[in-house]
Amino acid sequence: MKYAYIIIALFFPLLIVAYESVFRVDETEQVIITQFGKPVGDIISDSGLKFKTPFIQKVNRIEKRILLWDGSANDMPTKDKLYITVDTFGRWRIKDPLQYFLRLRDERSAQSRLEDILGSETRNAVAKHELIEIIRTTKGRKPEVDPLLVDADIGRLLPITRGRRQVEEDIYSAASGKLSEFGIELLDIRFKRINYNESVRQKIYARMISERQQIAERFRSEGAGEAAKIIGNKEKELQRIESEAYQKIQAIQGVADAKATEIYTSAYNQSKAAQELYTFVKTLETYKSVVDPSTTLVLTTDSEIYQLLNGVGQ
C-alpha cells in the first residue's frame, strides 16, 4: 500500500507535465506559441496533436475561417445635407496571424478596430455622395419617376453617376489598406439598411404630403379647366342649334306667308266684289287689332274708318 502511494505520487506530476506538453489544433484554427508573452517558432496551421514546452509556453488560437463584422447603426449626413441612419456589415479573415497577434491579440480587439476604421470610411463615403447614389444599386439603372410627376417639376430624381455598389467599393478600397497593417484581410462590406434619421423623417413625410397635395391641386385645376371647356362647347353648340332652328322657322314662316299671300291673291282677284270683300276683311282685322273698349278715336268725316263705321247701320 505504501508503494502504491509512492507510485501515484510520482505518476501524477508526470501526468500533469504530459497534459501541459500536448495540445490539439483544430482544422478551423491556427496556433501561435508564445513564451513569456513573446511568439516563438513558426505558426502552426495544420491540424492534429502538437507539443510545446510545459508551463513556459502558451497556446494562442487564431481563427482560420471567414469572420463576420456587424457594424452598429450610425447617423451621418449625405452630401445633400440629409441625415440618415446607416447600418453596415462585412466579412473578414486573418491573413497574417503573427501581425494580427502582435497588434490586436484577440478577436474582441479586432472587432473594435474594424468598427473604428470601417465606420470612419463609411461616414466619409456617405458624406461625399448624394442620397440617391447610396440607395440605388447601380449607376446604369435609370431612377424610377412617379408617372403622376412626369409633367411636373416636383419629385424629380437626380441622375445617378456611381451607384451604391461603387460607394461600397470605395469604402472597401479605403479600409483594406488600413486593416492590412493589422494582419486583417477585408473580404467585403455592404450596406445592410439605410433609413432617414428620426429627426428629419417627419420633414420628409411632410414634403411627400406637400408634393401629393400639389399633384391633387394640379389635377383639380386641370379638371376645372376641362369642365369650363366642356361647358363653353355646350353653350356654343346650343347657340348654334338655336340659331339654325330660328333660321329654319323664319324660312318656313316666310314660305307659309308667301303661300298664304298667293292663296289670298288668287282668291280675291277673281272679281271686283271679291277684291272689295278682301279689303273689308283686312280692314276689320286691322280694327280688331288696334281698337278695344278702352280706345278713344278722333276721326274726320272723310276718313275711311268713319265712312265704314257710319255705314254699319245700313
Query: Do 85 and 175 sit in the same domain of this protein?
Result: yes
pLDDT in single tens digits along all 314 residues of the chain = 666 666 666 666 777 777 678 888 899 999 989 988 888 988 888 888 888 888 888 889 999 999 999 988 988 999 888 889 999 999 999 999 999 999 998 899 999 999 999 999 999 999 998 888 888 775 555 555 555 555 545 555 567 778 888 899 999 999 999 999 999 999 999 999 998 887 777 777 888 888 888 888 888 998 999 999 999 999 999 999 999 999 999 999 988 988 887 887 777 777 777 777 777 777 777 777 767 777 777 778 777 667 666 655 55
Residue 109 covered by a domain: yes
Looking at the structure, tell me whether residues 196 and 157 fall in a common domain.
yes
Question: For residues 30 and 7, is the Cβ–Cβ distance under 8 A?
Answer: no
Residues 83 and 168 in one domain: yes
Residues 176 and 86 in one domain: yes
* 199 and 83 share one domain: yes
Are 32 and 62 in contact by the 8 Å Cβ rule? The answer is yes
19 and 125 part of one domain: no
Q: Give a yes or no: residue 313 inside a domain.
A: no
Residue in 82, 71, 78, 92 with CA at minimum distance from that of residue 193:
71
Whether the Cβ atoms of residue 158 and residue 132 lie closer than 8 Å to each other: yes
**Grid coordinates 270683300 are at which residue?**
277
Residues 58 and 72 in one domain: no
CATH of the domain at 188: 3.30.479.30
Q: Which three cell numbers stand for residue 140?
A: 446604369
Query: Are residue 96 and residue 38 in the same domain, yes or no?
Result: no
Number of domains making up the chain: 3
CB-CB contact of 33 with 9 (8 Å) = no
140 and 41 in a common domain: no
- Spell out the residues 6+ positions from residue 27 whose beta carbon is closer than 8 angstroms to its own: 47, 64
Sign of CA dihedral 131, 136, 138, 142: negative
* Number of residues written out for the chain: 314
The answer to whether position 312 is within a domain reads no
Expressed as residue numbers, the domain containing 260 is 232-291
190 and 242 share one domain? no
* pTM for the model: 0.60
